[in-house]
A and B are shown apart, each in its own frame.
Chain A
Amino acid sequence: MNTFRKFYIENKEKFFGYLLRKTGNYHLSADIMQESFTRYLERYKDREESPALLFTIGRNLLYDHFRKNRGDTSYEDELHGEGTGQEEAYGIKEEYQGVLRAMEKLDDEERDILSLVVSSNLSYREIAKITGNSEGNIKVKIHRSRTKLKTILRQGQS
């Protein structure tokens, strides 16, 4: 149990960072984080510690969530809920709100890959596996996502 606690403490911030960068939604990220750690604890606590597994669980839970809610809430509505004021309420720095809004303009795969790279400390090999890419492909996609974000951020400034 203390192993899990240590795992939790070491990964909470990174994992929440991934969920928030990917969704831009603080509440949703908190819910998914709780659910992911709970599942990890229930099912995999006896395994060797695996941040990659945790990120995979969280990613799958997010996709499940969006699939289930497709009927009443559009993916885009729920993501990056601009104008809800929640970013301010949770003290997300103003500068970072701009980053989250820029990430919203990436397509789903780019946002997913970039969120993983920036937040997780996982290797390209692990990220390729999680996202179903080849290792050769992932480095090109990562750089393409960063380049696109750079263009978006620059447009936002002008």
Chain B
Amino acid sequence: MKDYLISMFVDNELDIDEKIEFVENVHGNKPFKDEAVEFLVQEKLLQGGMAVSLPHVSIPMVAEEKVGRFQSWFLPLAGFATAMVLMVGVYLSNPSPVVSPIETQHRFVIYSPDVSKVEIVGDFTRWSPVAMEKIGDSGYWTAQLSLSGGEHRYSYLVDDGRQVADPTVLTYEHDDFGGINSIIRVAGSL
């Protein structure tokens, strides 16, 4: 009896012949079936959320970042990172947004006069900067993006790449790169 088939089943490692053998054993051999269930229950326990909070660490940005559009905003960020004090009151446990599949249009607006460029970067842009549009000479910049329901993290990148949290949003957190992200919750609508 190949007991290790149970572990391979748990870890999705069975090939087709092994799947046949596994299923036949589960059906024909009660102790094997019971053991398989016990291992699955144990796996659930093992994989279960262990820590309420992940640690916040600081990943220093490398200074010799290749010339490119990201250089402009990550270099100042690196300096900012060193100046950050320890984060408090952070409740983040999972950086991936909890989302529902329903998307809604969300308009982002920021007042930032006398700058030549504003971009938005967030989980919904896969952390790639998306240019915002200037509204005439008003000093306002805007972008309309499609967001799924749930929690989202983002910030603005102004001019030289300075990372700016959304001043209209009170909830924020420090990211592990020394910046600050705003957090919004978008209601999923039907």
A130–B48 alpha-carbon span in the complex (Å): 24
Contacts of B126 in A (CB 8 A): 2, 6
A1–B64 alpha-carbon span in the complex (Å): 12
* B28: interface (CB < 8 Å): no
Given contacts A1-B61, A1-B65, A124-B11, contact A9 B96 (CB under 8 A): yes
- Per-residue B-contact encoding for A30-63, CB less than 8 Å = 1, 0 else: 1001100110011001000000000000000000
Contacts of B54 in A (CB 8 A): 12-13, 16
* A68: interface (CB < 8 Å): no
Q: Tell whether, in the assembled complex, residue A33 and residue B96 are in contact, meaning their CB atoms are under 8 Å apart.
A: no
Given contacts A6-B127, A37-B59, A150-B42, contact A95 B4 (CB under 8 A): no
Given contacts A13-B94, A143-B7, contact A95 B48 (CB under 8 A): yes
* B3: interface (CB < 8 Å): yes
Q: Tell whether, in the assembled complex, residue B128 and residue A34 are in contact, meaning their CB atoms are under 8 Å apart.
A: no
* B171: interface (CB < 8 Å): no
List A residues at the B interface (Cβ < 8 Å).
Answer: 1-2, 5-6, 8-10, 12-13, 16-17, 20-21, 26, 29-30, 33-34, 37-38, 41-42, 45, 90-93, 95-96, 99-100, 114, 117-118, 123-124, 139-140, 142-144, 146-147, 149-150, 153
Given contacts A1-B61, A41-B62, contact A20 B42 (CB under 8 A): no
A139–B11 alpha-carbon span in the complex (Å): 10
- Per-residue A-contact encoding for B34-71, CB less than 8 Å = 1, 0 else: 00001100110111111111110111111001000010
Q: A114 to chain B: closest CB distance in Å?
A: 8
List B residues at the A interface (Cβ < 8 Å).
Answer: 3-4, 6-8, 10-11, 13, 38-39, 42-43, 45-55, 57-62, 65, 70, 74, 94-96, 121, 123, 126-129, 176-177
Q: List 30 A-B contacts (CB under 8 A).
A: A2-B121, A2-B127, A2-B129, A5-B127, A5-B177, A9-B123, A10-B96, A12-B95, A12-B176, A13-B54, A21-B50, A26-B55, A33-B55, A34-B57, A91-B51, A91-B53, A93-B51, A96-B51, A99-B50, A100-B50, A117-B11, A118-B43, A118-B46, A118-B47, A124-B11, A143-B4, A143-B6, A143-B8, A147-B3, A153-B42
Contacts of A142 in B (CB 8 A): 4, 7, 11
Closest residue of chain A to B59 (Cβ to Cβ) is: A37
Q: B54 to chain A: closest CB distance in Å?
A: 6
A91–B51 alpha-carbon span in the complex (Å): 6
A96–B45 alpha-carbon span in the complex (Å): 8
Given contacts A2-B127, A13-B94, contact A146 B7 (CB under 8 A): yes
* Nearest 5 pairs of A and B residues by beta carbon: A91-B52, A30-B55, A143-B4, A34-B57, A143-B7
Contacts of A30 in B (CB 8 A): 55, 57
Closest residue of chain B to A27 (Cβ to Cβ) is: B55
Say which residue of B48, B59, B65 sits within 8 Å of A38 (CB atoms): B59
